[in-house]
């Protein structure tokens, strides 16, 4: 094992030869580990986690650093009361552990949000994801758990890892998970947070860090940092004395200091401060677990509207550590009616996103761990407060979260409680053995989340009879085969999600849901029958999502007998002309069953205006020039700039494109995803409009063996990913293709110091055996994080420069390919070493 002195010498040498590469690491966040093959330090970047800004005392960091640097310490426990900063310390370790450690570093840092109740398969899944493995959804039996444990054990035994477990509430069998424990000096370390010192003992912790409250000075500084300095509120002696009392009552807990400081910012009236002091004094008479809830409740009460308070309580339904999709939350809130404004679904979604931003600003939500842009989380203490408020203080927003244990013992509640339940969570449960409802009658319930739950038609009938006020119903991923006619009893239903179910037909009773605004049938591959009456009467419907659905619109002509009725059905089937009568429709996602239907759909003006995704499936006729044409632009036929996605047109053996394919984005200003499949022409050009207003975010090309050149012309300000796969003839990818075409397509020149792709975060090049070039010169890619290359043996150069991809976190590829790369210029060796720090063998 290398000594710390040897390590210091090596680090000094590498720091000089790589021109401050370690300083770059400290700025961007990451870890360092030993590369035995080349005897240098490589930088393996770990995902940085958002931190609330709590201040960890220096002595605590020093104590943690001592344990992390000690090879005899394998398991470290961090314990303390809720809101004291345990998770914050764990995030600091994840983000900046290299600053805490002396001696050997780690190959890999793994963050796990421990689910409650503890689920071994879910923990294994999080670890597998960090290792780049893919586990199917566990059935919960011992066999797959054991198999996955063996796989994790084998992979982790190859690395020196740092496993971070957040919020452990009981002993966890690490061996059952698949964690190697024999030699912490070689295998790595486990650090966990817990509220109980008993858990530290039960886990056999070799070292424990006890989180202590902030002292009075530290607490005051943290509290004041959350106040607006411009208001000078604390300059009033009366207010300052009361504020000092409030800080003392927070007990040195960072979470409470942040929440209360944020809630009281700008409050200059001493009477308001007196009210807070009285409330917090009253909390001293309640149990320790409840006392902090009074302080957190101030932030809840300080929210601007009842809608924000209702939205926060909605989030409290989700389990501790659960990452909530921002988009999904907004859809649910629209279904409940929280975002109504009478100005269309787009504006409602904007209000929903603004609402989430407001909860983030108030620190009542946190940014997601794995995706801080699209996901959010609820701190466990905030969740406790919201559930407590829903049960005791605000009974009009009652929540029922049903667990597996409750199903075994039975769910009971008072009659009054039944009347005030508004939201019910029953996700990830097995209800297949239940023939009647396992929960009492909740006639005023608004939301029922049953996704990822095994549920049958008979049980649903019981639910529907008991919940006449239901507004939001999520049945996605339920393996449901039949929708009972009792769904027609849900007269208030506004949101219905049946995606990824096994339903084969829709009942006509569905057409009685006159308040339904969103119907999601995406990925219902077995759906074949939709009676006209099931959809045509939905006069309030705003969103109809039938993407990748088994129901195909065979033709436009209503006289066509093939669509008059599905086999075995006596009712006339739904036709495109029926959708024209849905006067409130704003978004349509569909696939068509013939090229004639695709070419003729432009005759439906309303449908074209609300089209967001349109695909041709099972096409065997070829496409008319009205939609795709040789040498013509994609979709010139009247989509009114509203199309968001144009997928491959050659699925299921359909005819491929021929000739030059010229994609002009000024024809499609709302196109967000562009998918091209089986292009038969040798060249495809994608041209940006001159005003750079396109919103294209993702570009995918699949299975195009003839295509040789793919050229992007102009500037693409919003593209985040380029994905190319199985294009065996592709020789060149041109990402800066404007030099020769200043007057071709109106793209104009892009200066070398500008970026053609300022938001491009990921490039995937998979199985392109003829690819030789992906750029004629070094590209400026300021947002690029990942370059994935696999099966591209002829690609001998990368268009990268040390100063032109500042956020690059990883280059993933085969070692043989990496070793054969040529690095041009007089400083080729320096460039190679600079990018070696982020290379990961695939």
Cα–Cα distances in angstroms (integers) from residue 172 to residues 169, 215, 644, 800, in the given order: 9, 33, 46, 45
Does pLDDT of 24 surpass 50? no
- Asked which of 37-51, 489-503, 803-817 is least confident by mean pLDDT, the reply is 37-51
Each residue's pLDDT tens digit, 731-785: 999 887 654 443 333 334 444 456 889 999 999 999 999 999 887 778 889 999 9
Strands (E), 491-530: 495-497, 518-520
SS3 657: strand
Residue 617 lies in a domain: no
- Mean pLDDT throughout 627-653? 43
Structure tokens at 484: 């009972």
CB 558 within 8 A of CB 536: no
> Both 177 and 222 in a single domain?
no
Instruction: Tell me the average pLDDT across 493-519.
Output: 96
Rg (CA), the chain: 29
- CA 661 from centroid of its chain's CA atoms: 34
Confidence of residue 406 (pLDDT cuts 50, 70, 90): low
Of 508, 546, 497, 545, the closest CA to residue 525 belongs to 546
* Kind and range of the H or E run holding 332: helix 326-336
Q: 88 and 227 in one domain?
A: no
Q: Is the pLDDT of residue 635 over 60?
A: no
Stretch 53-80: mean pLDDT? 87
HEC secondary structure over 176-205: HHCCCCCCHHHHEEEEEEECCHHHHHHCCC
Query: Following DSSP, what letter does each residue of 570-609 receive, concatenated?
Result: -SPBP-HHHHTT-TT--EEEEEESSHHHHHHGGG-HHHHH
Tell me, what DSSP letter sits at residue 773? Answer: B
CATH code for position 366: 1.10.10
Q: Does a structural domain hold residue 123?
A: yes
630's tokens: 């040789």
Domain boundary among 210, 229, 249: 210
Q: Characterise 533 by phi-psi region: left (phi > 0), alpha (psi -120 to 50), beta (else).
A: alpha
Query: Residues of the chain with pLDDT > 90: what percent?
Result: 32
Percentage of residues in the chain having pLDDT higher than 70: 74
The SS3 of residue 232 is: coil
pLDDT grade, residue 232 (50/70/90)? confident
* Same domain, residue pair 203 and 218: no
For residues 252 and 205, membership in a common domain is answered with no
Query: Structural domain of residue 225, as residue ranges?
Result: 214-265
- pLDDT of the residue at 765: 95
pLDDT digits (tens, 9 = 90+) for 145-182: 788 899 999 999 988 899 999 999 999 999 999 999 87
- Integer Cα distance of 245 and 215 in angstroms: 14
CB-based burial label for 825 (10 Å; 0-12, 13-18, 19+): exposed
pLDDT digits (tens, 9 = 90+) for 555-586: 444 444 344 444 444 468 998 889 999 999 99
Which CATH number does the domain housing residue 112 bear?
3.40.50.300
List, for residues 321-358, the tens digit of each pLDDT value: 788 999 999 999 999 999 998 788 999 999 999 999 99
Domain-embedded: residue 589: no
- Is residue 712 very low, low, confident or very high in pLDDT (cuts 50, 70, 90)? confident
Query: Is residue 198's pLDDT more than 90?
Result: yes
Residue 702 lies in a domain: yes
Q: How confident is the model at residue 649 (pLDDT cuts 50, 70, 90)?
A: very low
| 316 is a domain residue | yes
Q: Does residue 370 register a pLDDT over 50?
A: yes
Same domain, 232 and 129: no
Same domain, 182 and 257: no
Quote the pTM value.
0.75
Q: What is the pLDDT of residues 111-155, one digit of tens each?
A: 998 887 788 988 998 898 888 776 654 334 444 678 889 999 999
Contacts of 229 by beta carbon, 8 Å cutoff, 6+ apart: none
Domain's final residue, options 333, 368, 393: 393
258 found inside a domain: yes
- The most confident of 388-397, 571-580, 655-664, by mean pLDDT: 571-580
CA angle 148, 43, 825 (to 5 degrees): 130
Same structural domain, 88 and 196: yes
**Residue 527: CB partners within 8 Å, gap ≥ 6?**
503, 504, 505, 506, 521, 549, 550, 551
The reply to whether 59 and 133 lie within a common domain is yes
- Three-class DSSP category at 226: coil
CA 739 – CA 668 distance, rounded (Å): 24
Polymer length of the chain: 842
Residues 225 and 133 in one domain: no
Same domain for 685 and 795?
yes
436 or 206: which carries more pLDDT confidence? 206
What does the pLDDT average to over 404-423?
72
| In a domain? residue 173 | yes
pLDDT of residue 264: 86
Q: How far apart are CA 157 and CA 181, in angstroms?
A: 9
Last residue of a domain, one of 210, 244, 278: 210
- Greatest Cα pair distance, the chain, in angstroms, is 85
Q: Are strands 31-35 and 40-44 parallel, antiparallel or unpaired?
A: antiparallel
Give residue 248's Cα distance to chain centre. 38
Q: How many whole angstroms separate alpha carbon 715 and alpha carbon 757?
A: 6
pLDDT at 89: 92
- Cα angle 746, 747, 749 (rounded to 5 degrees) comes to 120
340 in the same domain as 240: no
Structural domain count, the chain: 4
Do the domain assignments include residue 151? yes
Do 204 and 225 reside in the same domain of the chain?
no
Q: Which of 540, 477, 533, 542 is nearest to 505 (CA)?
A: 533
Distance CA 95, CA 51 (A): 9
- Identify whether the C-beta of residue 564 lies closer than 8 Å to the C-beta of residue 608: no
Q: Which of 50-64, 442-456, 752-766 has maximum average pLDDT?
A: 442-456
Residues 289-299 have pLDDT tens digits of: 555 677 788 88
């Amino acid at each position: 094992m290398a000594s710390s002195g040897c390590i210091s010498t090596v680090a000094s040498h590498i720091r000089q030869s790589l021109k401050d590469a370690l300083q770059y690491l400290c700025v961007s966040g990451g870890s360092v580990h030993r590369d035995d093959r080349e005897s240098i330090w490589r930088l393996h970047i770990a995902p940085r986690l958002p931190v609330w800004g709590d201040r960890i005392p220096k002595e605590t960091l020093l104590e943690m650093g001592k344990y992390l640097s000690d090879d005899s310490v394998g398991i470290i426990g961090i314990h303390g009361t809720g809101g004291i900063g345990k998770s914050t310390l764990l995030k600091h370790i994840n983000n900046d552990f290299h600053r805490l450690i002396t001696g050997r570093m780690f190959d890999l840092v793994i963050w796990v949000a421990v689910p409650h109740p503890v689920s071994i398969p879910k923990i294994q899944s999080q670890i597998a994801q960090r290792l780049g493995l893919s586990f199917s959804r566990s059935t919960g039996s011992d066999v797959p758990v054991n198999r996955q444990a063996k796989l994790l054990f084998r992979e982790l035994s190859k690395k020196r890892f740092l496993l971070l477990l957040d919020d452990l509430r009981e002993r966890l069998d690490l061996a059952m998970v698949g964690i190697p424990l024999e030699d912490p000096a070689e295998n790595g370390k486990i650090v966990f947070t817990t509220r109980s010192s008993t858990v530290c003992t039960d886990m056999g912790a070799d070292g424990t860090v006890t989180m202590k409250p902030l002292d009075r000075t530290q607490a005051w500084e943290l509290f004041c940092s959350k106040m607006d300095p411009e208001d000078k509120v604390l300059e009033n002696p009366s207010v300052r004395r009361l504020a000092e009392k409030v800080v003392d009552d927070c007990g040195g807990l960072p979470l409470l200091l942040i929440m209360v400081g944020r809630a009281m910012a700008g409050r200059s009236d001493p009477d308001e401060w007196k009210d807070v002091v009285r409330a917090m004094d009253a909390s001293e008479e309640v149990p320790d677990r409840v006392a902090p809830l009074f302080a957190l409740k101030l932030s809840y009460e300080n929210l601007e509207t009842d809608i924000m308070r209702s939205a926060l309580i909605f989030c409290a339904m989700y389990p501790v550590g659960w990452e909530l999709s921002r988009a999904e939350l907004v859809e649910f809130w629209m279904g409940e009616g929280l975002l109504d404004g009478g100005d269309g679904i787009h504006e409602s979604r904007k209000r929903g996103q603004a609402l989430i931003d407001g909860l983030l600003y108030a620190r009542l939500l946190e940014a997601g761990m794995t995706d801080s842009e699209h996901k959010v989380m609820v701190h466990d203490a905030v969740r406790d407060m919201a559930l407590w408020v829903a049960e005791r203080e605000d009974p009009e927003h009652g929540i029922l979260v049903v667990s597996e244990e409750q199903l075994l013992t039975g769910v009971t509640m008072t009659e009054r409680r039944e009347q005030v339940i508004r939201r019910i969570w029953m996700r990830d449960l097995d209800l297949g053995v239940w023939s009647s409802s396992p929960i009492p009658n909740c006639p005023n319930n608004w939301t029922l989340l049953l996704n990822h739950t095994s549920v049958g038609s008979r049980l649903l009938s019981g639910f529907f009879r008991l919940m006449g006020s239901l507004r939001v119903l999520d049945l996605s991923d339920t393996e449901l085969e039949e929708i009972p006619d009792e769904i027609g009893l849900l007269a208030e239903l506004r949101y219905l999600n049946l995606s990824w179910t096994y339903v084969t037909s829709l009942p006509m009773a569905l057409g009685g849901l006159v308040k339904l605004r969103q119907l999601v049938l995406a990925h219902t591959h077995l759906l074949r029958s939709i009676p006209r009456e099931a959809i045509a009467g939905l006069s309030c419907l705003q969103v109809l999502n039938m993407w990748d659905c088994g129901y195909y619109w065979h033709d436009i002509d209503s006289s066509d007998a093939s669509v008059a009725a599905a086999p075995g059905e006596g009712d006339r089937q739904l036709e495109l002309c029926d959708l024209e009568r849905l006067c409130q429709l704003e978004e349509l996602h569909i696939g068509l069953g013939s090229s004639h239907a695709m070419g003729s759909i432009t005759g439906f003006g309303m449908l074209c205006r609300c089209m967001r995704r349109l695909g041709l499936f099972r096409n065997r006729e070829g496409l008319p020039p009205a939609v795709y044409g040789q040498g013509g632009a994609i979709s010139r036929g009247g989509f009114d700039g509203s199309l968001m996605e144009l997928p491959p047109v050659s699925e299921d053996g359909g005819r491929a494109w021929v000739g030059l394919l010229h994609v002009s984005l000024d024809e499609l200003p709302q196109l967000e995803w562009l998918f091209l499949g089986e292009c038969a022409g040798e060249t495809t050009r994608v041209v940006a409009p001159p005003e750079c207003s396109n919103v294209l975010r993702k570009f995918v090309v699949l299975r195009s063996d003839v295509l040789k050149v793919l050229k992007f012309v102009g500037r693409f300000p919003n593209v985040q990913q380029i994905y190319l796969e199985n294009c065996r003839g592709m020789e060149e990818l041109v990402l800066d293709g404007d030099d020769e075409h200043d007057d071709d397509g109106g793209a104009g020149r892009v200066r070398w110091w500008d970026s053609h792709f300022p938001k491009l975060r990921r490039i995937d090049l998979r199985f392109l055996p003829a690819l030789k070039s992906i750029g004629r010169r070094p590209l400026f890619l300021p947002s690029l994080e990942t370059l994935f290359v696999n099966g591209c043996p002829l690609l001998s150069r990368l268009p990268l420069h040390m100063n032109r991809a500042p956020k690059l976190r990883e280059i993933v590829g085969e070692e043989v390919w990496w070793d054969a790369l040529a690095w041009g210029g007089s400083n080729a060796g320096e460039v190679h070493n600079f990018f070696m720090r982020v290379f990961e063998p695939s």
